[in-house]
Amino acid sequence: MSIRERLSGNEAAATAMKQINPDVVAAFPITPSTEIPQYFSTFVSNGQVDTEFVAVESEHSAMSACIGAEAAGARAMTATSANGLSLMWEMIYIASSLRLPIVMSLVNRAVSGPLNIHNDHSDAMGVRDAGWIMLFSENNQEAYDNLIMAHRIAENKDVLLPLMVCQDGFITSHSIENIELIEDEKVKEFVGKYKPEHYLLNDKEPIAIGPLDLQAYLFEHKKQQGDAMKKAKKVIEEVAKDFEKMTGRKYNLFEEYKMEDAEVVIICMNSTAGTAKAKVDELRNNGIKAGLVKIRVFRPFPAEELAESLKNAKAIAVLDKSDSLNGCGGALFEDVVSAMYTKNYHVPTVNYIYGIGGRDTTTNDIGTVYEDLLKIKETGDIGNPYRYLGVREGK
């Protein structure tokens, strides 16, 4: 029987970590993720976990410690945000290239500069091609659930990749919501014990970690990472099915909201999905066939499945909470249009950069996007496909 609670997103993440009881947690504080290791360190002090908590001197050191622990055969976790993730950048790539299934809670925040501590997705988008599995969370419940599933996915023998669970800084991380927790024993059984096949402290198999990898081998090793990312998609779906059996909560690669006959569709990630759902309900009540696709699994990107979901739409808007600053759209937009083009589906699609630096995005803002889509549906003219939502022009 589930346990009803009221927790912030950070508390939910820390609670999941407590129930997982990893061998090592290494972390350095940075807003808005600071509370996660702070709460967890309290669990360590109170004897509620037997984790080795390593208070390091920087985020670079935090990921380095997790890499060392995981390479030695321990289950390791951490949490960070924005500039902290940027400082980890070198080690982020090393973690994935060494095929170490570290799990990290990433509380999304704008990357400096100028300095901003509020939410957008520029931190996550900065490492989208680093070889980490990336799960996004609409609300506190989903952040908690994603973390419970994370180790089963990352540690699968066909995957062995690090995984980050993303949630929106302050919007979910510091907001208290009703949540259903799973009993400790069920979490323990579901996650299971970490039993790596190769690790440094195995005296029966001496190995080296991180050797020089030049022209003769690096290409093949990178392909192996790519193959593992492809295999992760099936594993994510299998773990989600087992999770549904345990909790009744169903998760797919992405969520389709009122998509059965949708003609005008928004695609987004994280907490914006809740705002968009409210607007979809309002439009549906007025006879408008609006729909929403919420991307949950961003890496591996569910290209084929998403294209099938969108092929019958009349107009699509992709919302990116980070600007790639490339002059031709955000990261999610690029992935969506690539998925559609590859499947030879042609639906008028536009991109909106929104919410930068924590700028509020209301149902009215979402409504203007659907209004634009209705015009595109009627005329077939997308005009400028690269747009901004909620920006003050000339500022």
Sorted by where each starts, the structural domains of the chain and their CATH numbers stand as: 3-247 (3.40.50.970), 254-389 (3.40.50.920)
Task: State the first-to-last Cα distance of the chain, in angstroms, to the nearest integer.
Answer: 53
**pLDDT at residue number 102:** 99
Q: How far apart are CA 21 and CA 10, in angstroms?
A: 16
Q: Are 164 and 105 in contact (CB under 8 A)?
A: yes
**pLDDT at residue number 393:** 83
**pLDDT at residue number 1:** 65
pLDDT tens column, 186-242: 999 999 999 999 999 999 999 999 989 999 999 999 999 999 999 999 999 999 999
Residue linked to tokens 């994935």: 96
Task: Please list, residue by residue across 199-236, b when 16 or more beta carbons sit within 10 angstroms of its beta carbon and e when fewer do.
Answer: bbeeeeeeeeeeeeeeeeeeeeeeeeeeebbebbbebb
Q: What is the pLDDT along the chain (395 residues), one digit of tens a residue?
A: 689 999 999 999 999 999 999 999 999 999 999 999 999 999 999 999 999 999 999 999 999 999 999 999 999 999 999 999 999 999 999 999 999 999 999 999 999 999 999 999 999 999 999 999 999 999 999 999 999 999 999 999 999 999 999 999 999 999 999 999 999 999 999 999 999 999 999 999 999 999 899 999 999 999 999 999 999 999 999 999 999 999 999 999 999 999 999 999 999 999 999 999 999 999 999 999 999 999 999 999 999 999 999 999 999 999 999 999 999 999 999 999 999 999 999 999 999 999 999 999 999 999 999 999 999 999 999 999 999 999 998 65
Question: Is the torsion defined by CA of 262, 263, 269, 273 positive or negative?
Answer: negative
Q: CB within 8 A of 267, min separation 6: which ones? A: 292, 293, 294, 295, 310, 316, 317, 318, 319, 332, 336
316 DSSP β-pair partners: 265, 349
Q: CB within 8 A of 7, min separation 6: which ones? A: 15, 140, 144, 176, 177, 179
Q: Are 247 and 180 in contact (CB under 8 A)?
A: yes
Q: CB within 8 A of 260, min separation 6: which ones? A: none
> Interior CA angle at 81 toward 125 and 150, to 5°?
75
**pLDDT at residue number 2:** 83
CA distances (Å), 84 to each of 12, 61, 105, 392, in order?
21, 10, 12, 29
CA 154 to chain centre: 13
Q: Are 228 and 160 in contact (CB under 8 A)?
A: yes
Q: Are 339 and 303 in contact (CB under 8 A)?
A: yes
Amino acid at 261: D
Q: How far apart are CA 11 and CA 179, in angstroms?
A: 11
**pLDDT at residue number 294:** 98
Q: How far apart are CA 109 and CA 122, in angstroms?
A: 7
